[in-house]
Amino acid sequence: MGFVATQLYVTAKSLLRDKTDLFFVILFPLLLTSIFIYIFGGTGNPGVKLGVVNLDGNTSIVTELLRGLEKTPVVSKLVFYDNISMLKKALLSPPPPPVDAGLVIPRGFSENLSKGLQARLTILVAYRGTVWSNYTAYTIVSTISKLEDELRLFRLRLIRRFAEKYAPFEYVVALAFPLNTTVVVLKPERLLTPGVVRGWYVVAVMLVEALFIGIFSAATWLVSEAKRGTLKYMLSLPAKSGQYIAAILARSLFYTAVASLVALATGYMLGARLYLGAASAAAAALLVALATLFSASIGALIACFATKPEGANAAANAIGFTLMFTAGIIYPPWLLPGPLKVFAEIFPLSRLADATRAIMVYGVDPLHALMEYTPPRILAATLFFIAVAIALYRRRLQAILETGKL
């Protein structure tokens, strides 16, 4: 234990002197948290930019229609075009397009409405195979549908005195509105407010730090010490392979703890809202620590085959950056493509990230979050992987201790 404590003391003392460690442990989480919150910590989806082709002239009905659309919160801007071809060209232009959807008002629109006849509108939406295109289509169609409902009710009120001579008015209303659907929107206290989004990314940065610190600490220690010429001195110390491994893991956990505190402090100053009660903080710390150990086990496997720092760094970078984007750490798992979504359902880092968010961001009871997101089979697989990686790394260290060579 004295050897591990000594190594941890040296690590803490050298943190502010080593520029690389200083950047990745303190400056990197500060910058990453600030960038994520600045870009993604806003107030939800932006409004739709609507392109309009008005072929009916500036009648009072068209003017009121456009004024109403402009005032709705779902439309951020109206852009007018002279003809349909220009509108289509704008919609199909390379991203980002000048407009998200189009509305064509044909000739005779106002006249048909004023005479009680059916008036037509055409909505154009460019299909781009993205969630945003689906959102755009739904937003514009639902807005026009709401306008249509208002017009239908207005006409029913006008003809009410005539309709009641032949049938009760409720039957007339039922003909126009066969279904009366009530939508009840439940709003949890901490769902998608800016503070919650910012908290979501604070946790993301904590897990990113756990991922990279764990991988790099274990993957590069041996080859880095060898390149600096200090490996022989390290191996001459009266320590066993298990003590070296414990020192590496302690170093990883220490660095992750410092980086997490930096991310939390930065997020707090930038408006992130998090549950940080005693039980929540303890459970989250346990999960982040386990994520660090799992990441370190990946690094240990890399170290079993690496013979040079360049190779270890390249492998650690490749695996780290790939997992950062595909394991549901900074990109929500439910937005991942099908195969990656399945991967995120079983990959330990993804499950640990979800459990940490559930506790810190959404205020889920720690015990419930642990059972929901880290069920026994996931936890067992995580611990088994860590144990196997440590065993292989220990064999590698033991061979080095015996031969004195990498």
Give the Å distances, CA to CA, from 148 to 108, 172, 366.
Answer: 17, 17, 48
State the Cα torsion 147-150-151-152 to the nearest 10°. 120
Intra-chain end-to-end CA distance of the chain, in Å:
25
With CA atoms as reference, report the closest residue to 357 among 345, 368, 367, 369. Answer: 369
Residues found in the chain:
406
* Paired strand residues for 53: 104
pLDDT < 50: residue spans in the chain: 190
Distance CA 241, CA 69 (A): 70
pLDDT tens-digit map of 284-342? 999 999 999 999 999 999 988 887 878 888 999 999 999 998 888 888 887 788 788 88
Domain(s) of CATH 3.40.1710.10: residues in the chain:
48-176
Give the pLDDT confidence score for residue 165 in this predicted structure: 65
- Beta-carbon contacts of 356 under 8 Å, excluding residues fewer than 6 positions away, are 203, 206, 207, 284, 287, 288, 291
Give the pLDDT confidence score for residue 133 in this predicted structure: 63
C-beta of residue 252 within 8 angstroms of C-beta of residue 213:
yes
Give the pLDDT confidence score for residue 276 in this predicted structure: 87
Q: What Rg do the C-alpha atoms of the chain give, in angstroms?
A: 30
Could you give the 3-state DSSP secondary structure of residue 181? coil
Q: Does the pTM exceed 0.85?
A: no
Please state which architecture CATH assigns to domain 48-176.
Answer: 3-Layer(aba) Sandwich (3.40)
